[in-house]
């Protein structure tokens, strides 16, 4: 949450790795109040444990792609089918497709007024769009 004499910077990224790189670069210069969020059209949240294909813990295809692992299996089966049929599952919607900012990941950073230009430069160096 921004404090007095702080600005909120909202940047959009095509991938979580680019957003994380920007957050890490900001943290390296002491700007640590950063938050990365996955934008979806489904109001679901990321669950790293169930969405991790490396450890063989993925419950569903949509858990890997639209981060729907937190969606109960029996709550609304029709919604799960529609999520699986969504173009974002195939990766064809990396840009645009009805997402806030046009990209799938958003970085929100709270920075002091005097460091806004520095933070924006770091974000843009990491392929973010402010």
Residue 129 neighbours by CB under 8 Å, 6+ apart: 11, 12, 13, 101, 102, 103
Q: Helix, strand or coil for residue 44?
A: coil
Distance, in Å, from the CA atom of 38 to the CA atom of 19, rounded to the nearest integer, reads 10
pTM of the entire predicted model: 0.64
- pLDDT tens digits along 77-113: 666 666 666 665 665 555 555 566 667 788 999 999 9
Residue 96 neighbours by CB under 8 Å, 6+ apart: 102
- pLDDT tens digits along 114-130: 999 999 999 999 999 99
Residue 4 has a pLDDT of 75
* Second CATH level (architecture) for the domain 1-39+99-130: 2-Layer Sandwich (3.30)
Domain-by-domain residue ranges, the chain? 1-39+99-130, 44-97
């Amino acid at each position: 949450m921004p404090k007095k004499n702080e600005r909120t910077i909202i940047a959009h990224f095509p991938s979580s790795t680019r957003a994380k790189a920007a957050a890490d670069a900001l943290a390296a210069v002491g700007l640590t109040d950063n938050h990365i969020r996955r934008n979806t059209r489904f109001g679901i949240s990321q669950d790293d444990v169930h969405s991790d294909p490396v450890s063989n813990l993925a419950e569903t295809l949509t858990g890997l792609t639209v981060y729907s692992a937190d969606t109960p299996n029996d709550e609304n089966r029709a919604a799960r089918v529609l999520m699986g049929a969504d173009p974002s599952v195939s990766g064809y919607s990396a840009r645009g497709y009805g997402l806030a900012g046009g990209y799938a990941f958003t970085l929100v950073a709270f920075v002091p007024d005097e460091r806004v230009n520095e933070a924006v430069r770091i974000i843009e160096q990491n392929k973010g769009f402010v």
